[in-house]
Amino acid sequence: MTLGKEQLRSRVSGREISYIPQAAMNALNPTLRIIRFIEDIMKEHRPELSRKQVWELAVERFETLNLSARVLESYPNELSGGMKQRTVIAISTILNPKVLIADEPTSALDVTSQKAVIKLLKHLLEKGYIQSLVFITHELPLLYHVTDDIMVMYAGEIVERGTAEQMIFDPIHPYTKKLMGSIIVPEEGMRGHKLAAIPGTPPNLKTVPEGCRFADRCTYAQSECRQGRIELQTFQDRSYRCIVPADTLREWYAHEDE
Amino acid sequence: MSAYGKYVVKKFFWYFVTLIVAIALNFLLPRMIEGNPVSVIVAQMTQGMTESDTIKRVYDTFAAEFGIDQPLHVQFFIYVKNLLTGNWGTSFGLYPKPVTEILASAIPWTIGLQLPAILVGWIIGNVLGAVAAYRKGVFDKVIFPVALFVNSIPFFTLAIIMLYAFALTLKWFPMHGGYDYQMIPSLSWEFIGSVLRHHTLPFLSIVLVTIGGQAIGMREMSIYELNSDYVLYSKLLGIRDSRIARYVFRNAMLPQITGLALSIGTMVGGSLICEIVFSYPGIGTWMFTAIRQLDYPLISGCTLLIALAVLLANFTIDLIYGWIDPRIKAAQMEDQ
């Protein structure tokens, strides 16, 4: 199915697929009251609603998300950071989208606000306001608590995909493996533990190297890694992008851990 | 009292203090001339006069007006009292015409020339700047350099070039003045036509310069706003482009409104060069004449008028800005 730009805008954006931006601080028009912005969204997607109906709908939704109706009459600069973030989430989900893409929704927040945001997102899922959630982040421990499946991307490509459990405790792709090594578990003996960094930097995407994009930084790289396009391999119920068989990789990892 | 009320009172107080300072400077500057200011002034004025009676009369008029036989602070109160009662002094150059009369005759010309020109230039400039930022491509590649070019020419050069091209060479418009000097000002069609013909060239020159400056400012602001996060967010929530353009241009306009208010405030002083080049009978020309003739009362009348206009414009901006931009209103409230 192909959609024109205009159809995409009126049928999908905000309605089927909605979005929570990374910087919620600046995501709201500073000179528009929150309710005016919601009215504008409704004019696009639910033009049959009157202003009063929009108001009632917004108040109801905001109250289920523990935001007072007063927020609706406010300008963005009158809200605190955490409130702005929750307001943005409430606005993004007001049309009950099927998919909500959350682009690092917690990255600029303190831990308490992070927790509130995560709770809010879970609440939205439980209530059925949103049906699924794509959570983009680099905070792996957080991800484990939020998601069912994890997809790891490197240099613009998906390198591995599996359930949260599999990805955290049994990574296959060398990049995922290294990435999971960055998780710190605050327990005894961790103070002396050195975190291993991956040497080098990600490739410049203007000139993508041939072959595996991770090859330059991978400790297991062979000459075949740099030839042709590396396709996603399926292994049981998961997939990964590496030419080495999953069992061999696992053996290497086991050997390395000793 | 509400926070906004307190804010207004505080602002008013500070503008009032500034006004007092401006009046004090206006009062002090002529009195800082070496020796007795009145005799210096009168000596300059009466050069060539031989009749000592006349000189004495002129001297007495000014001595009484300045109250120079009194101590300085008493003089200041006399000065302020005179200002408040509408007695702004007597012009030296056009003795015995009162300064207020000269200013009153000049103000309509200045406002009639500047106000429409600034408004037209401001509107066209902002529309062009917004279009350049929004449509990009050819629009931007044409509008931006042209605006930059027009804005970079010193105003008097532009005015002289226009005068040379359209009045002297092409003879489309008259060379100078506010109307044909053979006519007697009246409300006849002929006179109005003459005024309009004289009005066109200086009007166009101001419009052109205003367009240049405004278009550049608006373009920058619009580009900044177009790249802001709320534009992307609104787009991804499916809001149509025309509405997003409204958000963007409303926000980009905010600093431009300050610019408009300021240029209306400085209108009286800003008209100086334009009016001199086109010999337009407004405040600017009078001020220039006054400076050349060392006509101190007229100079201080003009400067006082300019100071008043600028202060009034700034005060108005401070008052209305909070209503246009909620962020500034918040900042105003925090000050309290």
Rg (CA), chain A: 22
- Considering the domain architecture, whether residues B134 and B182 belong to the same structural domain is answered as yes
Whether the model pTM is above 0.80 = no
Contact B234 A26 (CB under 8 A): no
- Is the preceding peptide bond at B96 cis, omega within 30 degrees of 0? yes
Of the residues B57, B84, B111, the one at which a domain ends = B84
- Considering the domain architecture, whether residues B145 and B33 belong to the same structural domain is answered as no
Long-range contacts, stretch A39-44, CB < 8 angstroms, 24+ apart: A40/B234, A40/B239, A40/B243, A41/A14, A41/A91, A41/A94, A41/A95, A41/B237, A41/B238, A41/B239, A44/A9, A44/A10, A44/A14, A44/B238, A44/B239, A44/B240
- Considering the domain architecture, whether residues B185 and B315 belong to the same structural domain is answered as yes
Contact A75 B254 (CB under 8 A): no
Q: Which residue has the tokens 């929004």?
A: B134
SS3 at position A63: helix
- Considering the domain architecture, whether residues B73 and B105 belong to the same structural domain is answered as no
- Considering the domain architecture, whether residues B67 and B210 belong to the same structural domain is answered as no
- Considering the domain architecture, whether residues B74 and B201 belong to the same structural domain is answered as no
Label residue A37 by pLDDT band (50, 70, 90): very high
What CATH number should be reported for the domain holding residue B150? 1.10.3720.10
pLDDT at B66: 65
Closest alpha carbon within chain A to B250: A31
Contact between residue B133 and residue B218 where contact means Cβ atoms under 8 Å apart? yes
From chain B, pick out residues whose CB is under 8 angstroms from the CB of A44. Answer: 238-240
What confidence tens digit (pLDDT) does each residue in A71-82 have?
998 888 888 888
Ranges A39-48, A179-188, B74-83, B194-203, most confident: A39-48
What's the rounded mean pLDDT across residues A112-126?
A: 86
**Which string of DSSP letters, residue by residue, matches A83-150?**
HHHHHHHHHHTTT--SEEEEESTTTTS-HHHHHHHHHHHHHHHHHTS-SEEEEE-S-HHHHHHH-SEE
Contact A40 B243 (CB under 8 A): yes
- Considering the domain architecture, whether residues B248 and B299 belong to the same structural domain is answered as yes
User: Residues near B72 by Cβ (< 8 Å), separated by ≥ 6?
Assistant: B31
User: Residues near A224 by Cβ (< 8 Å), separated by ≥ 6?
Assistant: A243
- Considering the domain architecture, whether residues B40 and B176 belong to the same structural domain is answered as no
The domain tally of chain B equals: 2
SS3 at position B195: helix
The Cα of A99 is separated from the nearest Cα of chain B by a number of Å equal to 12
pLDDT at B310: 86
Q: Which residue has the tokens 């500073």?
A: A30
Contact between residue B110 and residue B275 where contact means Cβ atoms under 8 Å apart? yes
- Considering the domain architecture, whether residues B116 and B63 belong to the same structural domain is answered as no
What's the rounded mean pLDDT across residues A156-184?
A: 87
- Considering the domain architecture, whether residues B53 and B153 belong to the same structural domain is answered as no
Q: Which residue has the tokens 């990964």?
A: A240
Contact between residue B290 and residue B299 where contact means Cβ atoms under 8 Å apart? yes
Q: Is residue B91 included in any domain, yes or no?
A: no
DSSP A26: G
Q: Is residue B151 included in any domain, yes or no?
A: yes
pLDDT at A206: 87
**Strand boundaries in chain A, DSSP class E:** 17-20, 99-103, 132-136, 149-154, 157-163, 233-235, 238-240
Q: Which of residues 233-272 of B touch A (CB under 8 A)?
A: 233-240, 243, 247, 250-251, 254
Label residue A258 by pLDDT band (50, 70, 90): low
> What CATH number was assigned to the domain covering residues A5-137?
3.40.50.300
User: Rounded CA gap, B294 and B299, in Å?
Assistant: 8
Give domain limits for chain A.
5-137, 165-257
Strand partners, A13: A17
User: Residues near A103 by Cβ (< 8 Å), separated by ≥ 6?
Assistant: A19, A20, A21, A22, A136
Contact A31 B330 (CB under 8 A): no
Q: Which residue has the tokens 């000793």?
A: A258
- Considering the domain architecture, whether residues B74 and B118 belong to the same structural domain is answered as no
Q: Which of B127, B93, B149, B121 is nearest to B285 (CA)?
A: B93
Of the residues B49, B84, B119, the one at which a domain ends = B84
Q: Which domain holds residue B149?
A: 99-326
pLDDT at A1: 62
- Give chain B's residues under pLDDT 70: 1, 33-37, 40-41, 45, 49, 65-68, 95, 178-187, 334-336
User: Rounded CA gap, B16 and B82, in Å?
Assistant: 18
User: Rounded CA gap, B293 and B274, in Å?
Assistant: 20
Q: Is residue B281 included in any domain, yes or no?
A: yes
- Considering the domain architecture, whether residues B31 and B147 belong to the same structural domain is answered as no
Q: Is residue B335 included in any domain, yes or no?
A: no
Contact B238 A14 (CB under 8 A): yes
